[in-house]
């Protein structure tokens, strides 16, 4: 079976999840990757067959999006051409992790696909939203890569077809400790803005991961570190707490390890405001900007209560199996081809299912 797995690289979370998921998806057949976007700072160890600049997000220095850079990179004609040229019809199954060009290609060629990932959960009105809804944000979440076939991931199972987060094996198998430092990743703020405030808390060591830093550098009570998946994981596993944006993967991992968590949503990014609303249900502290009182708020957070831990109700293998089952059911309806049980009987699956524990 040939599977196209479409992944956006507008941040590190989608890439990290794809790297974790790939071995599980490969149990069911040959996998090609369509990668779009240019904002990930992780090494991309994936079988990328198709690459696109996609629709990338760019950040300013003070917590928000750089709309001018986003607009300059947007090219509707290029996107349409790439969608028409992408051979989605040659695959038995398309799994789409919130990637718009593949979604457009499937719609143009009438190829159904499975919307698989965190953003798929927002098709449900039961997924948490902020008190004030943003109609444009809602429109993007529901239409950017929309499909009638969804397997969503969220902090809790808010509805049918929404399942628990996928946690990387390096976090699942870790033995967390508290070495008293705080792990910080705030890509939507400049290093200077972050350092100015954290340097005021002189009795705490901060590991600040920076896209600009190439060599680890100590500046008083702040250790500037280059963005690296293994280095970030190690820092977070051994931290007293984590300060980051209101994305999905990193907050989920911090909650799973029962770490204190402070989140600053990216200004103007509605999905992060939705995530922040969900995280408040876990007693996570949410701040909406770094201001002159930020250091005092960080101290208060450090002395506060730990959040409610995240509960995993399904393993990664089980969640991938659900996505594959959904994709095969679409294929079966269209062509009369075999389903999951018949696929397993062909010997195409390399490993038995459910051989990974939470």
- Using one digit for the tens of pLDDT, what is the confidence trace for 159-199? 999 999 999 999 999 999 999 999 999 988 999 999 999 99
Whether 39 has a pLDDT exceeding 60, the answer reads: no
On average, the pLDDT of the chain sits at 87
Residue in 52, 115, 37, 48 with CA at minimum distance from that of residue 82: 52
Residue 43 belongs to some domain of the structure: yes
Q: Give the DSSP H/E element, type plus range, for residue 330.
A: helix 316-335
Cα separation of 45 and 57, whole Å? 22
Asked if residue 216 and residue 335 are part of one domain, the reply reads no
Q: From CA 129, how far away is CA 77, in angstroms rounded?
A: 33
Residue 62 structure tokens? 């003070």
Residues 17, 146, single domain; the answer is yes
Q: Which range is least confidently modeled, 17-26, 140-149, 190-199?
A: 140-149
Whether 175 and 294 share a structural domain: yes
pLDDT reported for residue 211: 86
**CATH at residue 181:** 3.40.50.2000
Residue 155 domain flag: yes
Residue 92 forms part of a structural domain: yes
Same domain, 208 and 298: yes
Residues 159 and 93 in one domain: yes
61 and 193 in a single domain? The answer is no
60 against 202, higher pLDDT: 202
350 domain-assigned: no
User: Are 157 and 59 in the same domain?
Assistant: yes
Q: Are residues 64 and 186 in the same domain?
A: no
Same domain, 157 and 211: no
Q: Is residue 285 part of a domain?
A: yes
Structure confidence at residue 73 (pLDDT): 60
Query: Does the structure show a pLDDT above 60 at 312?
Result: yes
Q: Judge if 6 and 129 occupy the same domain.
A: yes
Count structural domains, the chain: 2
The dihedral formed by the CA atoms of 290, 128, 66 and 261, expressed in degrees to the nearest 10: 40
pLDDT in tens, 313-348: 999 999 999 999 999 988 777 766 555 555 555 544
pLDDT score recorded for residue 143 = 86
55 assigned to some structural domain: yes
Res 69: pLDDT: 58
Domain hosting 272: range is 170-302
Give the pTM: 0.86
Name, in order, each residue with C-beta under 8 angstroms of 261's C-beta and a sequence gap of 6 or more. 241, 242, 244, 251, 254, 255, 279, 282, 284, 285, 307
* For residue 350, pLDDT beyond 50: no
């Amino acid at each position: 079976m040939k599977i196209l797995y479409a992944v956006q690289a507008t941040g590190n979370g989608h890439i990290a999840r794809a790297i974790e998921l790939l071995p599980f998806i490969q149990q069911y057949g040959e996998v090609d990757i369509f990668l779009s976007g240019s904002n990930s700072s992780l090494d991309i160890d994936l079988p990328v067959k198709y690459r696109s600049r996609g629709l990338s997000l760019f950040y300013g220095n003070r917590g928000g999006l750089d709309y001018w850079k986003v607009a300059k990179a947007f090219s509707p004609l290029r996107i349409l051409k790439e969608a028409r040229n992408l051979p989605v019809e040659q695959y038995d199954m398309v799994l789409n992790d919130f990637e718009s060009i593949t979604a457009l290609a499937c719609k143009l060629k009438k190829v159904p696909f499975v919307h698989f990932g965190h953003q798929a959960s927002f098709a449900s009105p039961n997924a948490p939203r902020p008190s004030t809804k943003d109609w444009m944000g809602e429109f993007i979440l529901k239409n950017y890569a929309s499909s009638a076939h969804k397997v969503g991931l969220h902090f809790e199972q808010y509805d049918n077809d929404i399942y628990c987060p996928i946690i990387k094996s390096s976090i699942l198998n870790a033995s967390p400790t508290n070495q008293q430092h705080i792990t910080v990743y705030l890509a939507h703020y400049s290093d200077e803005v972050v350092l100015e405030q954290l340097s005021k808390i002189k009795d705490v060591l901060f590991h600040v991961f920076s896209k600009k830093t190439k060599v680890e550098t100590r500046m008083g009570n702040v250790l500037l570190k280059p963005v690296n998946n293994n280095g970030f994981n190690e820092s977070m596993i051994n931290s007293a707490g984590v300060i980051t944006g209101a994305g999905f993967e990193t907050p989920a991992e911090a909650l799973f390890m029962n770490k204190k968590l402070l989140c600053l949503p990216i200004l103007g990014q509605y999905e992060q405001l939705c995530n922040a609303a969900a995280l408040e249900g876990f007693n996570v502290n949410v701040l909406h900007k770094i201001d002159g009182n930020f250091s005092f708020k960080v101290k208060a957070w450090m002395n506060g209560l730990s959040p409610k831990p995240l509960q995993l109700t399904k393993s990664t293998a089980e969640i991938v199996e659900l996505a594959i089952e959904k994709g095969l059911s679409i294929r079966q309806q269209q062509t009369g081809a075999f389903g999951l049980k018949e696929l397993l009987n062909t010997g195409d699956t390399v490993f038995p299912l459910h051989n990974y524990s939470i």
